[in-house]
Amino acid sequence: MKKYLFGLIVLLSSSVASYAVGPDSTKQELTKEVIYNDAKEALSQLGAALKVGAEHVYEVLVRQQVVESITYLVVGLVSVIFLIICYKQANKVQFDNYNNITKGGINMTYAVCFGVVGVITGLFALFNIQTIVTGFVNPEYGAIKTILDTIKH
């Protein structure tokens, strides 16, 4: 199995390397037909290496786009929940006239912890908003993009 995958990777990298444009080489335009043929060939070879049909590989990639969208969406919702917890814990803290915490110091610790985690996970979900939308609106596009990225690398 490993030798088939290694052979596929070598084939894909050599076909993409032939399209590479260096500073001294002439520019080669990638036509839709060439990209389509390479993608079709890569899918067929990947299916053969995995001993499944190319259609099955494509269907799995489409489903994976939906799974990734759901995952990133859940991460975004978790960040919202953490930020709500942060807000509620911060409101429980009481200060005196000199801005010293008089009651609820542990709540402030919780607020900071939940706030930091909420911001980090929120940024992670925000940076993947395109994957979230693509997976729900047009997962076929995401699958094709994954195939073309595999061909490029």
Per-residue pLDDT tens over the stretch 21-78: 444 444 445 556 666 677 767 767 766 776 667 677 788 889 999 999 999 999 999 9
Residue 147 lies in a domain: yes
Residue 24 lies in a domain: no
Residue 52 lies in a domain: yes
Tell me how many domains the chain contains: 1
Residue 84 domain boundaries: 2-18+30-152
When pLDDT is averaged across residues 1-29 and rounded to a whole number, the result is: 43
Token pair, residue 64, equals 């994976």
Nearby residues of 136 by Cβ (< 8 Å), 6 or more positions away: 66, 69
Residue 143 lies in a domain: yes
Q: What angle do CA 37, 63, 117 make, to 5 degrees?
A: 120
Nearest of 153, 147, 141 to residue 19 by alpha carbon: 153
Residue 68 lies in a domain: yes
Residue 131 lies in a domain: yes
| 103: three-class secondary structure by DSSP | strand
Do 144 and 39 touch, CB atoms closer than 8 A? yes
Residue 74 lies in a domain: yes
Q: What is the pLDDT of residues 70-111, one digit of tens each?
A: 999 999 999 999 999 999 988 888 776 667 767 777 888 888
| pLDDT for 129 beyond 80 | yes
Entry pTM: 0.62
Residue 73 lies in a domain: yes
Nearby residues of 61 by Cβ (< 8 Å), 6 or more positions away: 142, 143, 146, 147
Q: What is the pLDDT of residue 74?
A: 96
